[in-house]
Amino acid sequence: MNGGIPGQVSYVQAKMRGRVVGDLVRNIPMLSGTDPESVLHFLIRAQEVYDLNLVGDLEFLALLVGRTSGRVTQILGLHLGTPSKWGVVSSELSSTFLPPRIREEFLSKYVLRRFQSPTEELTEFIMSVVAAARILSYHGSESDLVQRIVQNIHPRVRSYLVFGSKPSTISELHALASHVAEARAIDAQRQGDENPAFAGASRSAARGPCQVSMAIDQTRPVRNRGVVCWKCSARGHLKRDCPSSVPLPLSNQGNEQGARQ
DSSP 182-247: HHHHHHHHHHHHHHHHHHHHHHHHHH-SPPPPGGGGGGHHHHTTT-B-TTT--BSS-GGG----SP
Average per-residue pLDDT for the chain: 79
Q: Residue 255: its pLDDT value, please? A: 46
Task: Indicate if the pLDDT at residue 36 is higher than 60.
Answer: yes
pTM confidence score: 0.65
Helix H or strand E segment including 75: helix 70-80
Q: Measured between alpha carbons, how far is 249 from 261 in angstroms, rounded to an integer? A: 18
Q: Residue 81: its pLDDT value, please? A: 83
User: What is the rounded end-to-end Cα distance, in angstroms, of the chain?
Assistant: 104
Mean pLDDT is lowest, of 147-156, 185-194, 210-219, for: 210-219
Q: Residue 64: its pLDDT value, please? A: 94
Q: At 246, is the pLDDT very low, low, confident or very high (cuts 50, 70, 90)?
A: low
Instruction: Report yes or no: 225 and 235 within 8 Å, Cβ to Cβ.
Output: yes
Mean pLDDT is lowest, of 42-46, 113-117, 184-188, 253-257, for: 253-257
Residue 47's closest CA among 30, 25, 15? 25
